[in-house]
Amino acid sequence: MLGAIGGVLGAVGGIGSYLSNRKAGKNFEKAGAYQEAEANKAAEELASQSTESQALFNPYAEFGQQGLTQMQGMLTPEGEAAYISQNNPMFKAALQNMNDQTATAAAISGRSMAGDTMNSYLSNWQAAALPLLQNRQNMLMNAVNTGQGAVSNQANIGMQGTQIAQDYRTSGAAARAAGMVGRANAGLAGTAGLFKGLSSLGGAADNAGGFKKLFGG
């Protein structure tokens, strides 16, 4: 009699174990899916923030590109002459002062048309132009360096953002996989419990039959 009752209780327990494990398995899978969704959402937000951060450096990158273009144009004698020949009052004042001194000295010595005097005028042009060219080139180089730094920062932000976003997605996929495994394990445990309960129920039936035979039921 007691064996029959125990078998029935075991069957009930097996069914309960199956149902509870089934519910737990669904919760495992839901939790994994939720974590994956949140990880993907974080990755998308990070990508957006990275793009916005990169855009902050756009003006500096453009500034550097402009400086590079102008620098390339000045790296030739023609480019240097074109810059100096523009309306540059500093160059004109310096050259005029040097030429006046050369002309005065040549007139005193009677060599106004001499070859060395003509060479002095050429040297005056170069001497007046050199500081302006160096200053301009330094300014352009600073612009190029600024642009290069901006582009480097943009690249670093992009690479770091991509890596972190990939880590988010990887962890999300792992969480979803863990949820699926958890559901599968819970399902196996529930099924095992159910089979065990059914076995107990079978034993209870056998015990009930023996009981009836013993007492003539």
Model confidence band, residue 111 (pLDDT cutoffs 50, 70, 90): confident
6-10 long-range Cβ contacts below 8 angstroms, 24+ apart: 6/200, 6/204, 7/200, 7/201, 7/202, 7/203, 7/204, 7/205, 7/207, 8/200, 8/201, 8/204, 9/200, 10/196, 10/197, 10/199, 10/200, 10/201, 10/203, 10/204
Q: pLDDT tens, 166-211?
A: 787 787 777 667 766 666 666 656 566 555 555 655 555 555 554 4
pTM higher than 0.75, yes or no? no
Q: Are 168 and 46 in contact (CB under 8 A)?
A: yes
| 42-46, 47-51, 142-146, 173-177: segment of lowest average pLDDT | 173-177
At 212 the pLDDT is: 45
| 15-19, 20-24, 159-163, 203-207: segment of lowest average pLDDT | 203-207
Q: Which domain holds residue 6?
A: 2-215
Q: Domain count of the chain?
A: 1
Q: What is the DSSP string of 65-114?
A: HHHHHHHHHHSSHHHHHHHHTSS-HHHHHHHHHHHHHHHHHHHHHT-TTS
For the segment 14-32, the average pLDDT, to the nearest whole number, is 65
